[in-house]
Amino acid sequence: MDDLVSFCQNWAKSHGYAVAKSRSNANKNVYIRCNRSGKFRGSIMNLSGRKTSTSKISCPFEVKGSIPTSKKIANKTWTLEIRHGGHNHQASSGPSSHTAHKKLLPEQILLQLQTSNNETYATNKTISNALQKICREDLDGRSPTEALLCILKESNWLVDVKVSPDTGAILSIFCAHPGSVHLARINHHVALMDSTYKTNKYDLPLLHVIGQAASNRSFTIAFCFMAHEDADSYLWS
């Protein structure tokens, strides 16, 4: 699946676009959309009060990757289906216009090191190991989830965690910035919810709760990672 998504991303990059996983079922299918798909109403107001914009303009571009699930098929390959091949916006002038294409890869870091010092003996593996070491040091023996909760609490975010009574596994993580809560209490008449489908490492839907101020500007109220998209999970959030 990752190779298929990378192929689509590279194709989009060479044509002035960027894509992202919309939703997926492990070892079955994956839906890939333009990074400008989805809808966002009004303009965004961050906590500083500065007005910013959104790239969400409901672009319809979508492709679907699927792989046979039958155990009778030995050599399974992914099939790509174009569900909607057109975009509702012009191609960008270059990859730098898209956040998805700005990630610095180990080989790019190595190239920069070799350019500045031709006696560098590092390899791609050296860079990868160094990056992993930095991540381990940042985690300090904690799991990524534990580190996230610690950072949120240390930053005075409001946090709530839903845990399975049977297994003890985390089902949902809700978090909100105090400034966002303050804005929501003042502007509590309209609340929008937008679920981003499994675009993170753990394939969890991310619920984005959005408020709208009297000035018709939108602001983030809260986020919630959910293990399940059912009525109970939404009510808990």
Task: List all residues 6 or more positions away from 19 whose beta carbon is below 8 Å from its beta carbon.
Answer: 5, 8, 9, 12, 32, 33, 34, 35, 61, 63, 100
What is the rounded CA–CA span in Å between residue 29 and residue 23? 9
- Residue scoring higher pLDDT (50 or 96): 96
Predicted confidence at residue 158, as pLDDT, reads 93
Strand 217-226 with 191-196, pairing:
unpaired
Residue 185 binned pLDDT confidence (cut-offs 50, 70, 90): very high
What is the rounded CA–CA span in Å between residue 176 and residue 47? 12
Kindly report the pTM of this predicted structure.
0.52
Top-ranked range on mean pLDDT: pick from 19-23, 116-120, 221-225: 221-225
* 17-40 mean pLDDT: 81
Task: List all residues 6 or more positions away from 232 whose beta carbon is below 8 Å from its beta carbon.
Answer: none
pLDDT per position as a tens digit, 84-115 = 999 998 888 877 677 766 666 777 788 878 88
pLDDT at 52 exceeding the cut of 50: no
pLDDT at 32 exceeding the cut of 50: yes
